[in-house]
Amino acid sequence: MSEITAPSATPAIMAWPRKDGRKGIRNVIAVAYLVECAHHVATKIAAPFEDDDVHVIGFPGCVGNDYSQYMMEAICTSPNVGAVLLLSLGCESFKKRQLARIIEESGRPVHLITIQEAGGTLSSISEGRKWVAETRHALDQQTKVPMEVSELVVGTICGGSDGTSGIAGNPAAGRAFDRLVQENATCIFEETGELIGCEHIMARRAATPEVAEQIMASVKKAASYYDELGLGSFSQGNADGGLTTIEEKSLGAYAKSGASQIMGVIKPGMQPEGKGLYLLDVVCDGGLKYGVPNITDNQEIIEMIACGCHLVTFVTGRGSVAGSALAPVIKICANPDTYKRMEGDMDVNAGRIVTREATLDEVGNEIYELIIEVSNGKRTKHELLGHQEFVMCYKLFSNEIERCAIAAE
């Protein structure tokens, strides 16, 4: 067992209150395009506000689907979002008025610009910039309120993995998760396509037999999906970094979940029903339809944000420079050589475990403490560098019909 102990007095987190009772650790204005044709206008609107927490997000498809609809509804009402500007071309199939209504009902300012009706590119940019400037000023007048650690929702992913990820970065992130769970926070880990071979181990940690069955089924589905696709979640970079098989990679990826009981299995856009640790199943239901389940690490981050995550820890061995729109990403570097080369992009040097300069528990505590600091306003490296990556593609999940999590009561 790890020796993760809470401090005698955790520093108070100050956050922005939301109408639904949640609190945000950032107060972002999202400029959301609802079809790729509106992407350029959205980018131009946000350009003058580079340092003002105005982030461009969006869905590129002209034909909408249920996944993109409920994902955008969840993202635009996630805790870190304070207001939303919607950009529509005008002839796409996205249910933009439904999205605007849901945002308005959440208590957030929202404004919809339809480019074809507004007079084109320049007039839409002018209208959008005016609204963003006025809304940014109004949001900046809001007062923060205290937030408990137990109110945090934290996700974790790994990417650019190598041989050090599973022995340093991921288990250290798992130690931080264990400590958060001890303090009654909500934690989410993924990805079922990179947990193949670990399903029996995870099932033994399930809170109920039903959750154990769901864990087994979700990993089986992922293995079947990748078999049908003809490839696995294993890259050339993984091999160059010393990993040999998907099983080896899975064991390393599994370590970031920590050792806590798994309370439920959720899918993108679903909010965990309780506190504790949850597994996020990101692989499409119903067989091969849209290709690779997550085309980049950034889509996994976005799906975690849609599940309510305030921030995400990102373990990497080979190095990743990507961050995310809407939520801070804490970059944990497992490889000491990579950290030396890319220190400007990394928040935590877990490579000290490899060089025996620190223990897993020490780095786990460091990650936990940084999570609290970032929740209280400290900027991560990717935020300081201006990384605001956002990816969303087509997907299909059976819970688009009945969206409920299997979770322990």
409: pLDDT strictly greater than 70 = no
Is 3 a member of any domain? no
Q: Are residues 250 and 108 in the same domain?
A: no
Tokens of 326: 């809407």
Let me know how long the chain is. Answer: 409
Where does a domain end: 139, 165, 184? 139
Where does a domain end: 99, 116, 139? 139
pLDDT of residue 10: 58
| Distance separating alpha carbons of residues 72 and 149, to the nearest angstrom | 26
197: pLDDT strictly greater than 90 = no
Contact yes or no for 327/337 (Cβ under 8 A) = no
Q: How many domains does the chain have?
A: 2
Confidence of residue 400 (pLDDT cuts 50, 70, 90): very low
pLDDT of residue 408: 35
Confidence of residue 9 (pLDDT cuts 50, 70, 90): low
Q: Encode 338-359 in three state secondary structure.
A: HHHHCHHHCCEECHHHHCCCCC
Q: Taking the complete model, does pTM exceed 0.75, yes or no?
A: yes
Where does a domain end: 115, 139, 163? 139
Using only C-alpha atoms, the chain has a radius of gyration, in whole angstroms, of: 20
Kindly list the strands in the beta sheet with 145-147, ordered across the sheet, starting from the edge strand earlier in the chain: 23-24, 13-17, 145-147
Q: How many other C-beta atoms lie within 10 A of the C-beta of residue 196?
A: 19
184: pLDDT strictly greater than 60 = yes
Q: Are residues 185 and 133 in the same domain?
A: no
More confident residue, 203 or 399: 203
Q: Which helix (H) or strand (E) holds 179?
A: helix 170-182
pLDDT of residue 198: 86
> What is the domain-level CATH number for residue 19?
3.40.50.2300
Q: Are residues 336 and 376 in the same domain?
A: yes
pLDDT of residue 227: 86
Domain interval for residue 62: 14-139
Query: What's the sign of the alpha-carbon dihedral 347, 352, 353, 359?
Result: negative
Q: Are residues 295 and 315 in the same domain?
A: yes
11-25, 239-253, 344-358: least confident range: 239-253
Confidence of residue 295 (pLDDT cuts 50, 70, 90): confident
Q: Are residues 242 and 284 in the same domain?
A: yes
122: pLDDT strictly greater than 90 = yes
Kindly list the strands in the beta sheet with 28-33, ordered across the sheet, starting from the edge strand earlier in the chain: 54-58, 28-33, 81-88, 110-114
DSSP E strand stretches across 1-76: 13-17, 23-24, 28-33, 54-58
| Distance separating alpha carbons of residues 329 and 311, to the nearest angstrom | 6
* DSSP letter string, 40-60: HHHHHHHGGGTTTTEEEEE--
Task: Report the chain's mean pLDDT, rounded to a whole number.
Answer: 90
Is 280 a member of any domain? yes
Is 5 a member of any domain? no
Residues 6 or more apart in contact with residue 329 via CB below 8 angstroms = 301, 311, 312, 313, 314, 322, 323, 380, 382, 387
| Distance separating alpha carbons of residues 174 and 172, to the nearest angstrom | 5
Q: Are residues 176 and 127 in the same domain?
A: no
pLDDT in tens, 329-374: 999 999 999 999 999 999 999 999 999 999 999 999 999 999 999 9
Residue reference for tokens 């299997």: 406
211: pLDDT strictly greater than 50 = yes
Contact yes or no for 27/142 (Cβ under 8 A) = yes
Q: Which helix (H) or strand (E) holds 312?
A: strand 311-316
Q: Are residues 118 and 186 in the same domain?
A: no
Angle value at C-alpha 206, between 209 and 284, nearest 5 degrees: 90
Q: Are residues 96 and 157 in the same domain?
A: no
Q: Is the link from the previous residue into 50 a cis peptide, with omega within 30 of 0? A: no
